[in-house]
Structure 1
Amino acid sequence: MQSFDKSADSKTEIESYHACIVKRDGTYQQKDEHLQAEHTLDVYIDGQLSMRMVCSPSHLVELVSGRLLTEGVVADASDIEFVYLCEYGTVARVLLKKKIALEHTNVDTVPSCCTGNKIFAAIEQLGRTYQPVTPRIWQPSWIFSVADTFAADTPMHKKTFGAHSCYLVKDDRILYVCEDLSRHNAFDKVVGCAMRDGVNIKECFIYTSGRVPIDMASKAIRAGIPLLMSKAVPTDLTVELAKRYQLTLLCAAHPDSFTVYNDPLHIIEH
């Protein structure tokens, strides 16, 4: 996969705005607040406008490539000929090595933070059957180490309190950290970083700051990621999907404890 990023970080991730805090006792406080920049990216796949994403303006090539993988449009980085990002960071053009049918003629905006994120390709027509992921050995000490790092906070969240973050982890090492308005985007960005650098994500784990609805677990399964962990909690359908596809699911991961929802290798005896 080749990438051509002409944007040169054309937009900052954090903007400062003057605001007034009104307190219950009737007093006021003038303050400069740091706010996350909200960015829109149009993605063309093989010349057709396929999705419009609302995101933070960083790691945009990685966001696009990661999204294509986690939504099942491609099987791996080798399916992508190139990703081109324009100088303003507002348009990405993707050329795939194998043509796919895009069924949507009306392009909606993929929201920055919600379940039900959409990719505008008929995934059920891509001819792929998703197999259960291959579970990998993990150690509780690795989970606590990541939770400790997360508790120390990440740069954008520390300034704005409005960012989701995601870590890509291999054993006890954090390989990539990405932040975004959306937990889905942060997930796709770390996956895209691995694709860019040729890292085998089937040997890696994901830690996300957000809750884990079924679409987040589906992303991990499509990408072949064997373990998904979160600071937050899953839904009932997420747990059912994890059991069906052998996805190790560890949630409510904090420095002092975490909850095991699915453990196909029975690392934790209980």
Structure 2
Amino acid sequence: MKSPVRRVPRMLWRADGAAAGERAIPEEVAVALTYDGSTQAVMMATPADLEDFAVGFSLSEGIVADAPEIERLEIVEQEIGVELRMWLAASRGQALAQRRRYMAGPTGCGLCGIDSLAEAMRRVPPVDQATRFSAREIRGALAALAPLQLLNGETHSMHAAAFALPGKGVVALREDVGRHNALDKLCGALARDGIDGASGMVILTSRVSVEMVQKTAMIGAPLIVAVSAPTALAVRTAEAAGITLAAIARGDSFEVFTHPHRIAEEVAAHVV
């Protein structure tokens, strides 16, 4: 498998002239997700944590309800890309055949190629968790991200999606050139490690679009924290799904757009 980071030669120009050197940049490959022999999606992604990507994409897109419904997974590297070949439990395979569609998009595009407006605007399961978080826990989780972003530390051009638990901090983090892919990888990592998505918060280093809210709802997390701003549709979707959406989280501040009752300055005891 290709390394997720590649070093390439480059010329650096400054006011006093040019100098030769190298730059670490992220690798990007075409990744085809196939189910029972048919391609469902082709995404441009970073070739790392592809098992997590396969499982997380399957869960967040509603192709399976639980990871064990993927009965077999093979990663097949080809000259032009990578195939994630999955075989589903019979009932899931039949359901997928009925809703078959093809998605093909550029880096991190979760909507390109969708041929149904209803699919793009699909309803998400409501999140009704009583878990509360302190502002201090949110700030602490944000502060912990940078040292954990190893690929971004090399390239300065990768998105991350992380998961933090009250009282424990960040317990999982995945990176990718695509923000949707990073969140799918996180979803897969949580499922494969048996971590209950409803027990903590999702942290994003990107803006929050509607697809990011939809994927978080499929994880079951009651809180999204993002370093950039949300779209108006993302706010409406989070409100309807019962998800607390905090964004523009920079330094020691963040803004809460929906369901602010889950966040307090201090939380004496966590109620799940």
- How high is the TM-score relative to the length of structure 2? 0.84
Q: Which residue type is aligned with residue 34 of structure 1?
A: A
What is the aligned counterpart of 2:135 among 140, 154, 170?
140
| 1:152-192: CA deviation from partner (whole Å, max 9, x where unpaired) | 46211121111011111121321111111011111111110
The change in CA–CA distance for 1:31 and 1:120 in structure 2 (over 3 A counts) is farther
Q: For residue 151 of structure 1, report the CA deviation from its aligned partner.
A: 4.3
More helix by percentage: 2
RMSD: 2.6
Q: In the TM superposition, what whole-angstrom CA distance separates every residue of 1:126-152 from its partner, at most 9, and x where no partner exists?
A: xx9743112321111110111111244
Matched, 1:36 2:26: yes
Alignment match, 2:144: 149
Relative distance call for 1:199 and 1:153 in structure 2 (3 A) is closer
Hey, what's the Cα distance between the residues in 1 that align with 2:251 and 2:60? Answer: 28
Is the 8 Å Cα contact of residues 62 and 196 (structure 1) preserved in structure 2? yes
CA distance in 2, matches of 1:214, 1:129: 11
By how many angstroms is 1:229 displaced? 0.8
Q: Gaps (5+ residues) in structure 1? A: 1-9
2:36 maps to a residue whose letter is D
Distance 1:16 1:103 in 2: 42
Question: CA offsets, 1:43-82, max 9 Å, x none?
Answer: 2111111111211111101101101111222222233222
Q: Give the aligned partner of residue 176 of structure 1.
A: 172
Q: 1:84 aligns with which of 61, 74, 79?
A: 74
Runs of at least 5 residues in structure 2 that lack an aligned partner in the other structure: 266-272
Write the mapping of 1:28-177 to structure 2, written as runs, cut at 5 A: 28-86=18-76, 90-97=82-89, 98=91, 99=93, 100-101=96-97, 107-114=102-109, 116=111, 130-135=124-129, 136-152=131-147, 154-171=149-166, 172-177=168-173
Q: Does 1:237 align with 2:229?
A: no
Counterpart AA for 2:218: R
Return the alpha-carbon distance in structure 1 between the equivalents of residues 117 and 37 of structure 2.
16
Q: How many residues align?
A: 255
**1:129–1:155 distance in 2 versus 1, CA, 3 Å:** closer
Post-superposition offset of 1:118: 6.2
Give the counterpart letter for 2:6 in structure 1.
Answer: E
Q: How far does the alpha carbon of each residue in 1:80-100 deviate from its partner, in whole angstroms, 9 at most, with x for none?
A: 222221256711111121222
Displacement of 1:26 in angstroms is: 6.3
Cα displacement (A) at 1:203:
1.5
Identity of aligned residues (%): 26
